[in-house]
Amino acid sequence: MAYCCKCGNGVQDTDRFCAKCGNEQAGSRPPSDFASSFSPRTAAVLCYVPWLGWIVAIVVLASNTFRNDRVVRFHAFQGLYLFVAWLIVQWVFKPWGFFMEGPHIPVVEIMKLALLILSIFMMVKAGEGRPYPLPVLGELAERSLAEK
């Protein structure tokens, strides 16, 4: 435990100011960002984890750690758009299957399997450390990067 350099009150290592006298502490460190515990390559790979990558992508986009890292932010945007594609398949195409007559072809399951394989493929490509734009989703991610 550290002590205030002016009044001697106990302060935490991350405190910038003393709670008692308000004096700025000399060796204060700002609290670390949660995303700072990830390397850029790990953060990019985690953005494509099926069903959970969207959470990591939002954390990456909101963190200060990767604010200027275009590659990681590209993967975060593209991971979000890949998750939106999965939601569209799940919420739009799956209900249509109930209204179709005749033999049911597992179109929705095939599309979900294709998105799962695409997510795994993108995890491998993100592990290489450079952006790999998908045909439509990559263009959307590039546009999102251009907007600040």
Looking at the fold, whether 18 and 75 belong to one and the same domain comes out as no
Looking at the fold, whether 26 and 38 belong to one and the same domain comes out as no
Q: Is the per-residue pLDDT at 57 higher than 90?
A: yes
Q: How far is CA 88 from the centre of its chain?
A: 19
Q: Is the per-residue pLDDT at 25 higher than 80?
A: no
Least confidently predicted of 35-39, 87-91, 144-148: 35-39
Looking at the fold, whether 41 and 27 belong to one and the same domain comes out as no
What is the mean predicted confidence (pLDDT) over 21-32? 66
Looking at the fold, whether 9 and 82 belong to one and the same domain comes out as no
Own/partner contacts of 26-31, CB < 8 Å, gap of 24 or more, are 27/2
pLDDT band, residue 77 (cuts 50/70/90) = very high
Looking at the fold, whether 13 and 76 belong to one and the same domain comes out as no
Looking at the fold, whether 3 and 75 belong to one and the same domain comes out as no
pLDDT at residue 19, as a whole number? 77
pLDDT band, residue 138 (cuts 50/70/90) = very high
**Strand-pair category, 2-3 with 10-11:** antiparallel
Distance between CA atoms of residues 76 and 54, nearest Å: 8
Looking at the fold, whether 17 and 68 belong to one and the same domain comes out as no
Looking at the fold, whether 57 and 105 belong to one and the same domain comes out as yes
Q: Torsion over CA of 106, 83, 126 and 47, rounded to 10 degrees?
A: -140
pLDDT band, residue 83 (cuts 50/70/90) = very high
What is the mean predicted confidence (pLDDT) over 111-139? 94
Looking at the fold, whether 129 and 63 belong to one and the same domain comes out as yes
* CA–CA–CA angle 59, 60, 66 (5° rounding): 140
pLDDT band, residue 53 (cuts 50/70/90) = very high
Residue 14 sits in which domain range?
1-31
Number of domains in the chain: 2
Looking at the fold, whether 4 and 70 belong to one and the same domain comes out as no
Q: Is the per-residue pLDDT at 16 higher than 80?
A: no
For the chain, percent of residues with pLDDT exceeding 90:
53
What is the mean predicted confidence (pLDDT) over 30-58? 85
Looking at the fold, whether 75 and 26 belong to one and the same domain comes out as no
Looking at the fold, whether 128 and 87 belong to one and the same domain comes out as yes
